[in-house]
Amino acid sequence: MDMLVKSKSIQELMGHDVIVLIGAPCSGKTTQGKLLADALDRPYLSPGSLFRAEVTKGTVFGQQLAAYMDSGETIPNELTTAFLTVKFSDPLYENGMILDGCPRSASHLVVLENILTNLGRRILAAVYLDVPKAQLDERRVQRGRKDDNAITAERRYAIFKEDIAPLLNLLDLKKKLLKIQYTSESSEGVLRRILIELAAFIS
């Protein structure tokens, strides 16, 4: 009942706005993003999944993305802005969304906010899943995704660590940042904590 009350409260305050989930690779963004989307009755969107789909399909855009993704490098903003603008303009997302893994850097945040502003929306809150490196490595091994080999994963994590501090500082200055610390509780337990803290944060 408590989760339902919190969900309804967040839904009412959310309107057409966007809640983003950020965190290191394997921090649980996808799991929590989908659970949060279900709880708040909003669509879930993962740019990373969309990019991987483009690579799999072998599109021209996918071929451009592949070089960055295979090496663990950050995909340049100029390569993704037009693609994301089209996706965000889909009527499916006109009543807000849960956005997984975006933005990835302070410069990407500026780009994302510009896209959303042009669509008459804004970031309501950025939920940062703060998970220790040891747990991230354990989850990476369990996940076993093709681009999760140790070398690529370490490169991706190093870039994440370099980019995350400026991003968190900027989000904090904008009063958009909600940190959720790692615990060993279940996915449902983490969701419950997110809903409780998020409802209080945006009230």
Is 203 a member of any domain? no
Is 54 a member of any domain? yes
Residue 32 has pLDDT above 80, yes or no: yes
Q: How far apart are CA 202 and CA 183, in angstroms?
A: 23
Chain-wide mean pLDDT for the chain? 90
Where does the pLDDT of residue 183 fall: very low under 50, low under 70, confident under 90, or very high at 90 and above? Answer: confident
Domain count, the chain: 1
Which CATH number characterizes residue 61's domain?
3.40.50.300
Q: How does pLDDT run across 70-127, given as a tens digit for each residue?
A: 877 778 888 888 888 989 999 999 999 999 989 989 999 999 999 999 999 999 999 9
Q: How far apart are CA 3 and CA 163, in angstroms?
A: 33
Query: In terms of pLDDT, which residue wins out, 25 or 6?
Result: 25
Is 202 a member of any domain? no
The per-residue pLDDT for 148 is: 62
Q: How far apart are CA 200 and CA 203, in angstroms?
A: 5
What Å distances lie between residue 31 and 50, 130, 175, CA to CA?
16, 14, 25
Residue 200 has pLDDT above 70, yes or no: yes
Which structural domain range is residue 42 located in?
A: 2-196
If DSSP states are collapsed to H, E and C, what string results for the chain?
CHHHHHHHHHHHHHCCCEEEEEECCCCCHHHHHHHHHHHHCCCEECHHHHHHHHHHHCCHHHHHHHHHHHHCCCCCHHHHHHHHHHHHCCHHHCCCEEEECCCCCHHHHHHHHHHHHHCCCCEEEEEEEECCHHHHHHHHHHHCCHHHCHHHHHHHHHHHHHHHHHHHHHHHHCCCEEEEECCCCCHHHHHHHHHHHHHHHHC
pTM of the full structure:
0.86
In DSSP terms, 89 is beta-bridged to none
The tokens for 31 are 């799991």
Question: How buried is 12 (Cβ within 10 angstroms: 0-12 exposed, 13-18 middle, 19+ buried)?
Answer: exposed
